[in-house]
Amino acid sequence: MAVGCAASSRRSERMNMTDTMEAAPLVEVRGLVKHYAHRTGPLGWLTRKAGRTVRAVNHASFSIARGETLGLIGESGCGKSTLGRAVLRLHEPTAGKVLFDGVDITSLDARELKRMRARMQIVFQDPYSSLNPRKTVEQIVSLPLQLQGGVQPREMRDRVAFMIESVGLKADHLRRYPHQFSGGQRQRIGIARALIANPAFLVCDEPVSALDVSIQAQVIQLLENLKRERGLTYLFISHDIGVIGYVSNRIAVMYLGEIVETGPSRSVLENPAHPYTQALLSAAPQVDEPERKRNRIELRGELPSPLDPPAGCKFHSRCPYAQEICRKVEPRAVEIGGGQSVACHLYPVGL
* Bridge-based pairing state of the strands 258-264 and 333-337: unpaired
Q: Kindly report the pTM of this predicted structure.
A: 0.88
Mean pLDDT value of segment 54-71: 96
* Bridge-based pairing state of the strands 233-238 and 69-73: parallel
CA distance 37 to 30: 22
pLDDT (0 to 100) of residue 50: 56
pLDDT (0 to 100) of residue 214: 86
* Bridge-based pairing state of the strands 95-100 and 25-40: antiparallel
CA end-to-end span of the chain, whole Å?
A: 37
Please state, in angstroms and as integers, the Cα–Cα distance from residue 296 to each residue in 66, 273, 293, 320, 343, following that order: 36, 15, 5, 12, 22
CA distance 98 to 88: 8
Work out the number of other CB atoms within 10 angstroms of the CB of residue 131.
22
Mean pLDDT value of segment 257-267: 96
Is 75:254 a contact under the CB 8 Å cutoff? no
pLDDT (0 to 100) of residue 20: 43
pLDDT (0 to 100) of residue 112: 93
**Which domains, from first to last, does the chain contain?**
5-41+49-107+235-343 (3.40.50.300)
CA distance 61 to 99: 11
Is 188:196 a contact under the CB 8 Å cutoff? no
CA distance 162 to 165: 5
pLDDT tens digits, one per residue of 70-119: 999 998 889 999 999 999 999 999 999 999 999 999 999 999 998 898 99
Statement: residue 3 has pLDDT above 50: no
Please state, in angstroms and as integers, the Cα–Cα distance from residue 273 to each residue in 230, 280, 318, 324, 337, following that order: 34, 12, 16, 19, 11
CA distance 17 to 5: 19
Q: 60: exposed, middle or buried (C-beta count within 10 Å: 0-12, 13-18, 19+)? A: buried
- Helix (H), strand (E), coil (C) string for 271-320: CCCCHHHHHHHHHCCCCCHHHHHHHCCCCCCCCCCCCCCCCCCCCCCCCC
pLDDT (0 to 100) of residue 53: 87
Mean pLDDT value of segment 234-241: 95
Is 93:34 a contact under the CB 8 Å cutoff? yes
Q: Which of 131-145, 224-238, 277-291 has the lowest mean pLDDT?
A: 277-291
Going 266 to 269 to 272 to 274, the CA torsion angle's sign is: positive
Is 29:104 a contact under the CB 8 Å cutoff? no
